[in-house]
Chain A
Amino acid sequence: MELKTKYLGLDLEHPIVASPSPVSHNFDGVRHLEDAGAAAIVLFSLFEEQIRFESESYAYFDHMSSNTFAESLSFFPKMEDFKAGPDDYLELIRRSVRACTVPIIASLNATSPEGWDDYARQIEQAGAAALELNAYYIPDFDQTSQQVEQRYVDMVSIVRKAVSIPIAVKLCPYFSSMGEIAHRLVAAGANGLVLFNRLYQPDFDLDEHEVHAALELSNPTEIRLPLLWIANLYGHLPCSMAGTTGVHKGTDAAKYILAGADVAMTTSSLLKNGVNHLGTILDDFKEWGDKHSYESVNQMRGAMSKRHVIDPAAFDRANYVKVLQSYLPKRDLHVRTGRWDPI
């Protein structure tokens, strides 16, 4: 099977891509991902909030502990060239781009329009092949869903104006109308969508009665939600799609490609099994494709999208309503989807 594919306009040797993870926190990790066979590497996310936190916490401690007592006018070495900005991240991009043959895709999570604009520019200048916008926003109670959606669209517009490299938007799955917002994001300049962002979901510590950060690795069953939407969106948007979450085996990757994704991204399985597991996923993926007589990834892509499956209604059913067999002719099934009629 021919494995070559395109994602965000980038030529990739195959569709297995390393998504943001602690592995890419340093240059050695990036090299390891390439050596393990990743077709592209999405670096860990640069968080504007983290940068702010670092700078503000240093300013706070510098302030709180300085000039308070005659013997200890400070408690930390002076850092004349304190780097609270994205310097380290940009340097990682530069080094990775120089050293790797696979595309290096940066990931950004900003919290302000200025942040999106400024950091995106710097990332492009550092040589990233593309930029993934790790968009995640908890709205205030007085914000309407339209305002929230507009915020995402504005984010894309800002970055689109700032850079000429391809941009992908990693979305959360909780939009009221996923198709509509996807269209708007693409119209605003997104070259691709990454489905989905696994959101921060805190846990409770019942002993302490406290809320704790708890990020669990994904499991294979989590593939279903993104699978649903990739299959739904396939063929409706002039952009790339990446399936992420729940890719633990080659067959998981195959599902995403079958649904319509250009690439399948994986992190949890690498954290669980080691970076070299990426090669195993790729081998399994290829083996499955060969076994099922696919000639290429391009041929495989979208084969099980809503457009192409025998029973598209399987994607639309509310909950687990048992429908044995539709009484409607297949062609009529498309009518209910409104503006998502086949192109």
Chain B
Amino acid sequence: MKSTPQAPLAISSHLETIDGNEAAAYVAYRVNEVCSIYPITPSSTMAELADQWASEGKKNIWGEIPDVVEMQSEGGAAGTVHGSLQGGSLTTTFTASQGLLLMIPNMYRIAGELTSCVIHVAARSLATQGLSIFGDHQDVMAARSTGFAQLCSGSVQEAHDLALVAQAATLECRLPFIHFFDGFRTSHEVSKVDIISDENIREMIDEDLVIAHRRRGLNPDNPFIRGTAQNPDVAFQSREVASIFYQRCPAIVEKAMEKFGMLTGRNYRLFEYFGSKNADRVIILMGSGADTARETCEYLNAKGENVGVVQVHLYRPFSAERLLQAIPKTATKIAVLDRTKEPGAMGEPLYADVVNAYFESGSPIMPRILSGRYGLCSKEFDPGMVKAVFDELAKENPKNHFTIGITDDIMGLSLDFDHEFDIESPDVHRAIFYGLGADGTVGANKNTIKIIGEDPTLFAQGYFLYDSKKSGSQTVSHLRFGPRQIRSAYLIKNAQFVACHQFNFVERTDVLHPAQKGGTFLLNSHYPADQVWDHLPKIMQEQIVNKKLRFFVIDASSVARHAGMGNRTNTIMQTCFFAISGVLPRDQAIERIKYSIKKTYGKKGEEVVRKNFDAVDHTIANLIEVKVPKTATGTAELIKPVAGNVPDFVKRITSRIIAGEGDRIPLSDIPIDGTYPSATSRWEKRNIADFIPLWDSELCIQCGNCSFVCPHGVIRTRLFDKELLSGAPESFQAAPIEAKGFPSTLYTLQVYAEDCTGCSLCFEACPVRDRVQPGKRAINLIQKTDAIIEASRERTTFFEALPVNNRSSIDFSTVRGTQFLEPLFEFSGACAGCGETPYLKLISQLFGDRMIVANATGCSSIYGANLPTTPWSVNSEGRGPAWSNSLFEDNAEFGLGMRISSDRHRKTAGKLAQELASEIGEDLVDDLLNATQITESQIRLQRARVDALKAKIQDLNSPAAKMLRVVADSFVRRSVWIVGGDGWAYDIGSGGLDHVLSTGRNVNILVMDTEVYSNTGGQASKSTPLAAVAKFANGGKQINKKDLALQAISYGNVYVARVALGANPQQTLTAFREAEAYNGPSLILAYSHCIAHGINMEKGLEQQQLAVHSGYWPLLRYNPEVRQSDENPFVLDSARPSLKFKDFSDNELRFRMLKQTNPQQVDQMMQSAQTSIEQRFRLYEEMAKGK
């Protein structure tokens, strides 16, 4: 492909529009016998596809279905890979980032034993000051010393092709390979790919080498030992003996590339050179950035520059010889761009290798070589940046160790670049679509790419951006279509077509910034064409006028409703695009859309097809071009990203991130160590709900259920004296407290409408039924309007001015009481109606002001701390949960460390206080050290003592006093909470969790059990129940979920509870309080309904009830303290099942799908599930009997 194309020899292949993950997995699946998998972003899709294909019976090139096995972690996956390889099977795995790090120990082994295999990596950054799921080369660079060869692909096509080259080469050279490509930019880019035929795949794989690999496997008929322990006498030699294999490897890879070129016509080299033959300046890089650099290089050379680009494919073993052959001798300046950072090193790895290559070559020509970092964590790398690097090289004294793409105003290392520099070809059609996660925009665009990709004369590319929220998230799709292969691995800056699928986006975002002059703008608008103009912000109007845009509107929601498609507007907006973009003739396009609908939905039923057809047919008639005035007439500004009197940090930084300007924040504004302020979600008024709750104070019985279950902390209540009512807004509601003896106390409930997601769990939880209209409750969902929002704002302002209720006078033991506790977990970006967040909110209410949280990576760490904002908040005194995340696998240990550290401080404080007792006062010291701190009033007393202590020592200058001032707060009992999901607790962190329980230390472990890896998209965990369908369990989970409660109970000294807030909130509350009060380890397993269950999330609480009443999720508590009073510590809080498992499972797609995916076994598995529920319940009943 890069050098002279040669005619393919074998049978021609076919074109498909797929993403990079599928491109690599397609080959990996066909050339392996075993896939050992574990999900991690952005590589999960590869594993999912392998599992899916296996379950569908797809075969590899030997006519066999590969064995696909999910492990408990990447470490486990690597171990299995190693074992399977030692068994002589062709084995692969797919991973990224931390996953690759967990594989490293085995990788050293696999490489040391010269074992042929390929690990496919969607390269991703590593967690350092923060976690990033996005792409760079930090992970593969961390693995570069393992002895694995490293082959890098820069595009979707390359990910497909080089996956095969790697497999062919590994078999011949015996070195294992990491085949990697850029996470997201390549792994998730959808592109038209020339699929390698199975014949060509077979041609590339030498059967003799496969046999040789198999023969090297362990075999008791031909026994040997491998993996010895070696002494100093031979270990060094053993390490060196394989060096010859590394020397041979580049030539073998080259040979495989040549053979591949002969077969397919796509030719690769170890180092590809593009550009002027006598270039004076050259950029060297690898990965997707190479295509961007190449495109820019061609553009600049056409403008008279003299530059070139070297793309590195084989990074390890590094062939200095081939590198130097690739670089023109005329090059005087070279910039080596690394997509990684090695703090403290002389330069990043690729740079060091290039420098060394020149140094060791003894070449008389020694160009000036500069190091640069780019694109970390998927930072955009575009032609403007490439040009800036070439421009820098042209300078007499260019910067070394520069960065490109950011503004470094501390070290001054960054290069300036032209943000608007554009090299796009006019014959490439570029379109940008703004959508809502749930409106199907991305799905429709992927479909559009497929439709256009089917045209043999057109190439297509799609890349998609998602925001940090799981509810109300915005997506931006970047689509290109053109007459030749598209190499633009960067976002579109000038689009001929911009579509905004949600009207409210135009009120907040300058969606037309990337619109090209003379382009087209399509807006989904509930305002008709003759009125919409007046509802646009001024900046929008100006751009439409100034850029002379054609402006179309459609009320897609209305068309969708009429077609019976609910809120699914995707097909309608897709039809609009084809109707007005001109990418394909309109009739042809519509015909293809319908064909695609039939293909997609045909098997899902005629009705679905018909509705989509109706939607398509009605679209054109409702698509109207707006008559654009000659000038902008509006005055409205874009809604500001944050509202209210915001703190300085939020104003300077958070607001810019929310506004999409994070790329331009300079280093000096970025926290140096990943520390960010709490309580920032409250400033981000997202207004994402169409329907919001309205409280009816007359019907309300003040039970607090709605507030208790609210996943987003938007329902707040307070008790206040009626005298404070003066000055309340007209719409402010309050009612006399439902309790005798408080004649002047009023109760109020406030809905933070701008923060609400409209999930309606409050409505579902309300026990009140209006006598006349049973459908009406004390809290009801109403359609949101501007007037309602304005009134809500007024009420909220008044409400917040009311005094916060005194914690020591609140009854913590009742659900009703908890509603008056400030939630210190509020307005998260979790899915609307999330089943996890009510638990977090509850612990924040109960213990938040003295709580430290260790949060496992997963959903809860994402909605808990994905920038720009965090829902972890502070109370009116400025106290609140102190939160941190380490990794996915180590969370229990991480939290234990926090406990130990906290106890250490407490001990230190005690020791210092005793030393200073004469100055502090013996009695106070005695109380500080020995006071009981169980109830809130006791905690308040202790806080008062600490205040007194601080007052006494504030003027003391002794070292002991100075130190005591720092640790004095630790006298107040710290509540350490270790929280995470089942993927962590049951699988990857299982060993650590078990060990932490065994230590007896006072930690509280909350497992929010969704019974599936929710954050990475629904892969099975050991918590996934029997008969549930999940990714990696396509045919339904074959065995029961692990009974983690019983496992923990077996220790005897662990407090254990299984709770379901939706089924029994009081039991949940009791369990939380008991667990926290227990002076030892506690484990709470909290049923968390989830979008991954395939349920109507409005019915999440109802599902919890069904789960409990069917015996599927029996509630229990095991309190070791009870044993001291000679009672049975095991309490079964659930009554004997009154429903069948089916009554619960029939409402969930995860169980219903079993009929589809495993019709032969569905009845037997469902029966087994029922039987096991009954058996477990009998066991629990036995345990609950007697003392």
Chain B residues near A25 (CB-CB < 8 A):
1163
Residue of A nearest to B606 (CB): A114
Quick one: given A71-B1017, A73-B1017, are A57 and B1029 in contact (CB under 8 Å)? no
The complex places the Cα of A77 from the Cα of B42 at a distance, in Å, of 17
Asked whether B1104 is an interface residue with its Cβ less than 8 Å from the other chain, the reply is no
- Interchain CB contact (< 8 A) of A75 among B41, B188, B475, B1017: B1017
- Interchain CB contact (< 8 A) of A55 among B56, B566, B608, B1017: B608
Chain B residues near A83 (CB-CB < 8 A):
603, 1156, 1159
The complex places the Cα of A80 from the Cα of B1156 at a distance, in Å, of 10
Asked whether A331 is an interface residue with its Cβ less than 8 Å from the other chain, the reply is no
Chain A residues near B227 (CB-CB < 8 A):
none
Asked whether B466 is an interface residue with its Cβ less than 8 Å from the other chain, the reply is yes
Chain B residues near A82 (CB-CB < 8 A):
603-604, 1156
Contacting pair B1029 A63 (CB below 8 A): no
Chain B residues near A71 (CB-CB < 8 A):
41-42, 44, 133, 862, 1015-1017
Quick one: given A71-B1016, A77-B1157, are A63 and B603 in contact (CB under 8 Å)? no
Quick one: given A61-B1094, A63-B570, are A77 and B1030 in contact (CB under 8 Å)? yes
Contacting pair A76 B443 (CB below 8 A): no
Chain B residues near A51 (CB-CB < 8 A):
605
Within 8 A of B (CB), among A166-218: 208-210
Chain A residues near B606 (CB-CB < 8 A):
114
- Interchain CB contact (< 8 A) of B48 among A55, A77, A85, A209: A77
Contacting pair B1018 A52 (CB below 8 A): no
User: Which stretch, B233-241, B906-914, B1147-1155, touches the partner chain A?
Assistant: B1147-1155
The complex places the Cα of A83 from the Cα of B1156 at a distance, in Å, of 6
Within 8 A of A (CB), among B464-503: 464, 466, 470, 473, 475
The complex places the Cα of A146 from the Cα of B1094 at a distance, in Å, of 42
Asked whether A81 is an interface residue with its Cβ less than 8 Å from the other chain, the reply is yes
Within 8 A of A (CB), among B19-72: 41-42, 44-45, 48, 51-52, 55-56
Residue of A nearest to B1159 (CB): A88
B571 smallest CB distance to A (angstroms) = 10
Asked whether B84 is an interface residue with its Cβ less than 8 Å from the other chain, the reply is no
Contacting pair B1029 A77 (CB below 8 A): yes
Contacting pair B1156 A69 (CB below 8 A): no
Contacting pair B1092 A65 (CB below 8 A): yes
Residue of B nearest to A77 (CB): B1034
Contacting pair A79 B464 (CB below 8 A): no
Contacting pair B769 A74 (CB below 8 A): no
The complex places the Cα of A28 from the Cα of B437 at a distance, in Å, of 45
Chain B residues near A66 (CB-CB < 8 A):
440, 442-443
Residue of A nearest to B1149 (CB): A61
Asked whether A340 is an interface residue with its Cβ less than 8 Å from the other chain, the reply is no
Within 8 A of B (CB), among A28-60: 28, 51-52, 54-60
- Interchain CB contact (< 8 A) of B604 among A55, A72, A78, A208: A55
Chain A residues near B55 (CB-CB < 8 A):
77
Chain B residues near A55 (CB-CB < 8 A):
601, 604-605, 607-608
Residue of B nearest to A118 (CB): B606
Contacting pair A59 B608 (CB below 8 A): yes
The complex places the Cα of A57 from the Cα of B56 at a distance, in Å, of 22
Quick one: given A69-B437, A77-B1029, A77-B1157, are A56 and B774 in contact (CB under 8 Å)? no
Chain B residues near A54 (CB-CB < 8 A):
605, 1152
Residue of A nearest to B1033 (CB): A77
The complex places the Cα of A66 from the Cα of B1153 at a distance, in Å, of 16
A211 smallest CB distance to B (angstroms) = 9
Within 8 A of B (CB), among A83-142: 83-85, 88, 114
Asked whether A26 is an interface residue with its Cβ less than 8 Å from the other chain, the reply is yes
Asked whether A64 is an interface residue with its Cβ less than 8 Å from the other chain, the reply is yes
The complex places the Cα of A2 from the Cα of B862 at a distance, in Å, of 75
Contacting pair B1150 A208 (CB below 8 A): no
Q: What is the size, in residues, of chain B's interface with A at 8 Å between Cβ atoms?
A: 58
The complex places the Cα of A61 from the Cα of B1091 at a distance, in Å, of 9
A144 smallest CB distance to B (angstroms) = 26
The complex places the Cα of A28 from the Cα of B1153 at a distance, in Å, of 21
Asked whether B568 is an interface residue with its Cβ less than 8 Å from the other chain, the reply is yes
Asked whether B402 is an interface residue with its Cβ less than 8 Å from the other chain, the reply is no
Quick one: given A56-B608, A59-B608, A83-B603, are A67 and B1157 in contact (CB under 8 Å)? no
Within 8 A of B (CB), among A213-255: none
Contacting pair A72 B1016 (CB below 8 A): yes
Chain B residues near A69 (CB-CB < 8 A):
437, 466, 470, 473
The complex places the Cα of A88 from the Cα of B1030 at a distance, in Å, of 21
Instruction: Give the most central of A52, A54, A60, A76: most B CB within 10 Å.
Output: A76
Chain B residues near A70 (CB-CB < 8 A):
41-42, 133, 184, 188, 466
Asked whether A319 is an interface residue with its Cβ less than 8 Å from the other chain, the reply is no
Chain B residues near A67 (CB-CB < 8 A):
437, 440-443, 446, 464, 466, 475
Chain B residues near A114 (CB-CB < 8 A):
606
Instruction: Give the most central of B52, B568, B1017, B1034: most A CB within 10 Å.
Output: B1017
Asked whether B688 is an interface residue with its Cβ less than 8 Å from the other chain, the reply is no
Quick one: given A67-B437, A82-B603, A85-B605, are A73 and B45 in contact (CB under 8 Å)? yes
The complex places the Cα of A88 from the Cα of B1163 at a distance, in Å, of 13
Contacting pair B605 A68 (CB below 8 A): no
Contacting pair A72 B1014 (CB below 8 A): yes
Chain A residues near B605 (CB-CB < 8 A):
51-52, 54-56, 84-85
Chain A residues near B446 (CB-CB < 8 A):
67
Asked whether B438 is an interface residue with its Cβ less than 8 Å from the other chain, the reply is yes
Asked whether B1031 is an interface residue with its Cβ less than 8 Å from the other chain, the reply is yes
Contacting pair A208 B769 (CB below 8 A): yes
The complex places the Cα of A83 from the Cα of B41 at a distance, in Å, of 30
Chain A residues near B133 (CB-CB < 8 A):
70-71
Residue of A nearest to B564 (CB): A56
Chain B residues near A81 (CB-CB < 8 A):
56, 603
The complex places the Cα of A55 from the Cα of B602 at a distance, in Å, of 10
Chain A residues near B1092 (CB-CB < 8 A):
65, 72, 75-76
Chain A residues near B1153 (CB-CB < 8 A):
58, 76-77, 79
A153 smallest CB distance to B (angstroms) = 24
The complex places the Cα of A80 from the Cα of B568 at a distance, in Å, of 21
The complex places the Cα of A56 from the Cα of B610 at a distance, in Å, of 12
Within 8 A of A (CB), among B546-592: 566, 568, 570
When A and B form their complex, which 10 residue pairs have the shortest distance between CB atoms, in order from nearest?
Answer: A68-B437, A55-B605, A209-B774, A72-B1017, A67-B442, A75-B1018, A55-B604, A70-B466, A209-B769, A75-B1092
Further 13 A-B residue pairs, CB within 8 A, beyond A58-B1149, A77-B1153, A84-B605: A28-B1163, A56-B605, A57-B1152, A63-B568, A64-B438, A67-B475, A68-B473, A71-B1017, A75-B1092, A76-B1094, A79-B1156, A81-B603, A85-B603
30 contacts between A and B (CB under 8 A): A25-B1163, A55-B607, A56-B605, A57-B1094, A61-B1094, A61-B1149, A65-B1092, A65-B1094, A67-B441, A67-B475, A68-B437, A70-B41, A70-B184, A71-B42, A71-B133, A71-B1016, A71-B1017, A72-B1017, A72-B1018, A72-B1092, A73-B188, A75-B1017, A75-B1018, A76-B1018, A77-B51, A77-B52, A77-B1030, A77-B1153, A79-B1157, A85-B605
Chain B residues with a Cβ under 8 A of chain A: 41-42, 44-45, 48, 51-52, 55-56, 133, 184, 188, 437-438, 440-443, 446, 464, 466, 470, 473, 475, 566, 568, 570, 601, 603-608, 769, 774, 862, 1014-1018, 1029-1031, 1034, 1091-1092, 1094, 1149-1150, 1152-1153, 1155-1157, 1159, 1163
